[in-house]
């Protein structure tokens, strides 16, 4: 194959990945951010929103107005709820109403009675109703990548299927992952991994882990995680996986995520490997039920590599929002080797459900 001979092309691709990673981490140039008029937002909230949501953001279930709605409005004074929802999502709900994003139809649209500035100001005021400084902001709940690890602590169920085209029998891998938010900035992880090749099939392992957000702002997040892989039917003694995950909002239309993962087999740590991954998402629309393209790059090398050679891959992919609020989504991607891997290509399909934002069948 010519792939192994084309060292110049490989060098260029490696340089591109390194440059893209540095570019993503540097987050380009700082952007100017409009300053909200909090006092104006407070006045709008008290005259327009407080009748249902309560003066301090906590609705009174005994209020005749609330009882007449048939549903208790969101508690905006709950720090977890307040922090995990991006301000831009709330602006959409205020402007277009709850039903437009698959939420309660009782939340009316205000685009004809409030200006864009008023919507921006009242949303900013709502964010001041409770101290959320110890909670990662929802602005950093970036789109799920196929291989790059995510930094934001989740409440999600994720299924991923992978088909590998290769010489001999093709291979399949199925992963079912449960992610549960723990405390202000943590997440528990439970994964079931199934593998098959030809007539061979096994529940290979169960993975149990924990992720913690270490640093965050409205534009970046850094997390660390540790996962223990316990063999069920697979050979071996299992392994310890540790990773750092980083996310960055580059601009209103672009986000970057990167991760470095280290795998340490229990029988011999020196047989492990390191995996680097990064992804750029093009977020071209504020509406979640859209198709969002992305490009992902990975590099993997064993610890005992004498010359530090990496196996490189590139993966174009798309995220498809299935519900109006985007809390159920589908990721599709094709991974191509850029070095001398033993496989030809891999096809991925990932279905995710963010159950913190609603039931699986809500908002289709």
Domain co-membership, 50 together with 146: no
- Note whether residue 147 is domain-resident: yes
Residues of the chain with pLDDT under 70: 1-34, 308
Handedness of CA 38, 123, 24, 220 (dihedral sign): positive
Domain co-membership, 20 together with 43: no
The residue among 94, 126, 158 that closes a domain is: 126
Residue 308 is predicted with a pLDDT of 67
- What's this model's pTM, rounded to 2 decimal places? 0.86
Domain co-membership, 229 together with 307: yes
Domain co-membership, 144 together with 291: yes
Domain co-membership, 153 together with 22: yes
Q: Would you list the DSSP string of 116-131?
A: HHHHHHHHHHHTTSS-
Domain co-membership, 252 together with 349: yes
- Asked if 179 and 187 touch (Cβ cutoff 8 Å), the reply is yes
Pair of tokens at residue 115: 């200006």
Q: What is the total count of domains within the chain?
A: 2
- Asked if 177 and 157 touch (Cβ cutoff 8 Å), the reply is yes
Residue 34 is predicted with a pLDDT of 57
Domain containing residue 235: 2-28+137-357
Residue 6 is predicted with a pLDDT of 44
- Note whether residue 363 is domain-resident: no
Closest to 313 measured CA to CA, from 329, 327, 330, 296? 296
Domain co-membership, 96 together with 144: no
d(CA 172, CA 193): 11
- Note whether residue 344 is domain-resident: yes
Domain co-membership, 118 together with 224: no
Q: How many CB atoms lie within 10 A of CB 120?
A: 21
Domain co-membership, 273 together with 183: yes
Closest to 319 measured CA to CA, from 330, 310, 307? 330
- Note whether residue 364 is domain-resident: no
The residue among 67, 92, 126 that closes a domain is: 126
Domain co-membership, 102 together with 224: no
The residue among 126, 147, 177 that closes a domain is: 126
- Note whether residue 312 is domain-resident: yes
Strands (E), 217-286: 220-231, 239-251, 254-265, 273-282
SS3 content of the chain, % helix, strand, coil (to 5): 25, 40, 35
Domain co-membership, 108 together with 197: no
């Amino acid at each position: 194959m010519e792939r192994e001979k084309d060292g110049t092309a490989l060098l260029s691709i490696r340089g591109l990945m390194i440059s893209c990673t540095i570019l993503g981490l540097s987050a380009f140039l700082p952007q100017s951010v409009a300053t909200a008029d909090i006092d104006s937002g407070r006045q709008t909230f008290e005259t327009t929103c407080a009748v249902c949501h309560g003066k301090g953001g906590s609705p009174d279930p005994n209020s005749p107005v609330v009882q007449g709605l048939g549903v208790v409005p969101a508690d905006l004074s709950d720090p977890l709820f307040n922090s995990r929802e991006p301000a831009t999502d709330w602006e959409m709900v205020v402007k277009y109403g709850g039903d437009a994003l698959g939420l309660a139809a009782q939340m009316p649209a205000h685009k004809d009675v409030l200006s864009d500035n008023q919507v921006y100001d009242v949303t900013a005021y709502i964010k001041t109703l409770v101290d959320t400084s110890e909670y990662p902001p929802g602005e950093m709940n970036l789109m799920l990548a196929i291989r790059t690890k995510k930094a934001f602590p989740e409440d999600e169920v994720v299924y991923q299927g992978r088909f590998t085209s290769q010489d001999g029998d093709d291979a399949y891998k199925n992963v079912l992952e449960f992610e549960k938010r723990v405390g202000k900035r943590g997440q528990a992880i439970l994964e079931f991994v199934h593998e098959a090749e030809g007539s061979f099939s096994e529940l290979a392992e169960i993975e149990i882990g924990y992720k913690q957000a270490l640093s965050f702002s409205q534009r970046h997040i850094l997390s660390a995680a540790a996962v223990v892989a316990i063999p069920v039917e697979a050979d071996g003694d299992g392994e310890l996986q540790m990773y750092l995950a980083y996310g960055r909002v580059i601009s209103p239309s672009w986000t970057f995520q990167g991760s470095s993962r280290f795998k340490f087999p229990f029988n011999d740590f020196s047989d492990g490997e390191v995996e680097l991954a990064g992804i750029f998402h093009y977020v071209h629309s504020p509406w979640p039920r859209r198709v969002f393209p992305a490009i992902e790059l990975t590099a993997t090398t064993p610890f005992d590599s004498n010359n530090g050679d990496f196996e490189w891959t590139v993966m174009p992919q798309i995220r498809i929002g299935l519900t109006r609020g985007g809390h159920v989504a589908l990721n599709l991607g094709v991974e191509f080797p850029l070095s001398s891997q033993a496989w030809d290509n891999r096809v991925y399909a990932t279905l995710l459900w963010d159950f913190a934002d609603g039931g699986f069948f809500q908002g289709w």
